[in-house]
Amino acid sequence: MKKHNGTRSWLISSSGVFLLILLVAPALAGELRVTRVVDGDTVKVRGTAGEITIRLVGIDAPEVSHKKAEPGQPYSQQATKHLAGLVLNMNVEIKEYGQDRHGRTLGVLFLAGKDINLEMIRVGYAEVYRGEPVRGHDMSLYWKAEEEAKRAKRAMWSQGEKYISPRQWRHMDRNRPNQVPS
């Protein structure tokens, strides 16, 4: 995908025929439908170009377990359900900020003009992403919303001293020895 003056170009190859489709960012409004909520900060959307995985930029939600016998991080399932309640099967707009190292599109999700990423922080189901911020994304409202959610002890912030950030949880999970059933 190449960017030209605020537009996105998709190059699709089929039987030696190349089709260039220029999509202007505002033209994506209403054309993207959320088909799946993967977790509290990742969704799949379907549009004219097919299905795309969107990683909600600027936020980090509690980690869901990828192992059947483990529940995941506290509030991970609630965060996923809350996000699904907001956007699943809804038409959304996305302000794109490139891709992450996993090939997911980084974006802010908007539903009827409302910043869904910010909403996840506001209700206490996500914190501000602590890694390298993306260029051009103003995080000031996100930091303010996180402070308000912490003060009000909303959702995951109700854990107080027991709270572990998603970033720390991922690190601990990677370093946990594999348990062998007895």
Inter-residue contact 139 to 32 (CB < 8 Å)? no
pTM of model > 0.85: no
| Rounded CA separation 112/91 (Å) | 9
Which tens digits make up the pLDDT trace of 112-127?
999 999 999 999 999 9
Mean pLDDT of the chain: 84
Q: State how beta strands 50-56 and 105-111 pair.
A: parallel
Domain boundaries, the chain: 25-174
Whether 51 sits among the annotated catalytic residues: the reply is no
Confidence of residue 12 (pLDDT cuts 50, 70, 90): very low
| Active-site annotation holder among 104, 119, 122, 146 | 104
> What are the C-alpha distances in Å from 44 to residues 98, 114, 136, 158, 167?
16, 18, 23, 29, 22
Question: Could you tell me the two tokens for 67?
Answer: 């192992």
Which tens digits make up the pLDDT trace of 152-166?
999 999 999 999 999
| Active-site annotation holder among 8, 33, 46, 55 | 55
Answer yes or no: is pLDDT of 54 > 70.
Answer: yes
Answer yes or no: is pLDDT of 174 > 80.
Answer: no
- The CATH code of domain 25-174 reads 2.40.50.90
Whether 104 sits among the annotated catalytic residues: the reply is yes
Inter-residue contact 88 to 158 (CB < 8 Å)? no
Whether 176 sits among the annotated catalytic residues: the reply is no
